[in-house]
Structure 1
Amino acid sequence: MAFHFHSHSQFLLFFFLTAGLALLFPSTAEPHLTENYYEKTCPKFNDIVQQVVTDKQIATPTTAAAVLRLFFHDCVLEGCDASLLIASNSFNKAERDHDTNVNLPGDGFDTIARIKTSLELQCPGVVSCADIITAATRNLVNMVGGPHYRVSFGRKDGLVSRADRVDGHYAKTNMTMSEIINLFASKKLSVQDMVALSGAHTIGFSHCREFSNRIFNFSKTSDIDPTLNANFAKGLKNLCANYTSNPGMSAFNDVMTPGKFDNMYFRNLQRGLGLLSTDQAMMVDERTKPLVDLYASDEKKFFEDFAQSMIKVSLMNVKTGKHGEVRRRCDAFNNLKT
Structure 2
Amino acid sequence: MAPSTTTVSAPQLVVGLLLALTTVAAVSTAESAPAVNTSCVTGSAGAAVSIGYGGARASAGAGMSLGAGVYRATCPRAEEIVRAAVQRAVAADPRMAASLLRLHFHDCFVNGCDGSVLLDDKPPFFVGEKTAVPNANSLRGFEVIDAIKAELERECPETVSCSDLLAIAARDSVVVSGGPSWEVEVGRKDSRTASLQGANTNLPAPTSGVTTLVQKFRNVGLSAKDMVALSGAHTIGKARCTSFSARLSGVGVSTGGAVGASKDLTFLQSLQQLCSGSAGSALAHLDLATPATFDNQYYINLLSGDGLLPSDQELASPGAGAVPGADDDVSSLVALYAFDASVFFEDFAESMLRMGRLAPGGGSSDGEVRMNCRVVNSST
Alignment partners' CA distance in 2, 1:250 and 1:130: 28
2:99 to 34, 46, 66: 66
Alignment partners' CA distance in 1, 2:195 and 2:379: 14
2:130 to 96, 101, 105: 96
Q: Who is 1:164 aligned against?
A: 197
> Could you tell me how far 1:226 is from its partner in structure 2?
6.8
Per-residue CA deviations over 1:10-36 (Å, capped at 9, x if unaligned) read xxxxxxxxxxxxxxxxxxxx7732222
Residue 274 of structure 2 corresponds to residue 239 of structure 1: yes
1:322 to 336, 357, 365: 365
Quick check: 1:173–1:276 contact (8 Å CA) kept in 2?
yes
SS at match of 1:251: strand
Change (3 A) 1:132 1:311: same
> Could you tell me how far 1:159 is from its partner in structure 2?
1.4
**Alignment-mate amino acid for residue 186 of structure 2:** F
2:285 to 245, 252, 258: 252
**Alignment-mate amino acid for residue 93 of structure 1:** V
Change (3 A) 1:46 1:292: same
Q: Who is 1:291 aligned against?
A: 333
SS at match of 2:79: helix
Change (3 A) 1:275 1:266: same
Figure out how many residues of one structure are paired with residues of the other and give that number.
300
Moved more, 228-237 or 120-129: 228-237
Per-residue CA deviations over 1:30-66 (Å, capped at 9, x if unaligned) read 7732222112221111111111111111111111100
SS at match of 2:378: coil
Per-residue CA deviations over 1:204-234 (Å, capped at 9, x if unaligned) read 1111011112214x37xxxx95737111111
> Could you tell me how far 1:314 is from its partner in structure 2?
0.5
Change (3 A) 1:226 1:46: closer
Counterparts of 1:5-24 in structure 2, within 5 Å, are: none
Change (3 A) 1:31 1:308: closer
2:150 to 107, 117, 121: 117
> Could you tell me how far 1:303 is from its partner in structure 2?
0.4
Q: Who is 1:174 aligned against?
A: 207
Unaligned 5+ runs, structure 1: 1-29
Residue 265 of structure 2 corresponds to residue 230 of structure 1: yes
> Could you tell me how far 1:329 is from its partner in structure 2?
0.2
**Alignment-mate amino acid for residue 132 of structure 2:** H
Change (3 A) 1:33 1:133: same
TM-score (structure 1 length as normaliser) = 0.84
Quick check: 2:208–2:310 contact (8 Å CA) kept in 1?
no
SS at match of 2:345: helix
Residue 92 of structure 2 corresponds to residue 49 of structure 1: no
Quick check: 1:125–1:326 contact (8 Å CA) kept in 2?
yes
SS at match of 2:73: coil
Largest Rg, 1 or 2: 1
Alignment partners' CA distance in 1, 2:133 and 2:96: 21
Q: Who is 1:304 aligned against?
A: 346
> Could you tell me how far 1:278 is from its partner in structure 2?
1.2
What is the RMSD computed on CA atoms of the aligned residues?
A: 1.9
TM-score (structure 2 length as normaliser) = 0.75
> Could you tell me how far 1:321 is from its partner in structure 2?
5.2
Unaligned 5+ runs, structure 2: 1-62, 322-328
> Could you tell me how far 1:308 is from its partner in structure 2?
0.4
SS at match of 1:39: helix
Moved more, 298-307 or 182-191: 182-191
Identity of aligned residues (%): 37
Quick check: 1:208–1:249 contact (8 Å CA) kept in 2?
yes
Q: List 4+ stretches of structure 1 deviating above 4 A.
A: 318-321
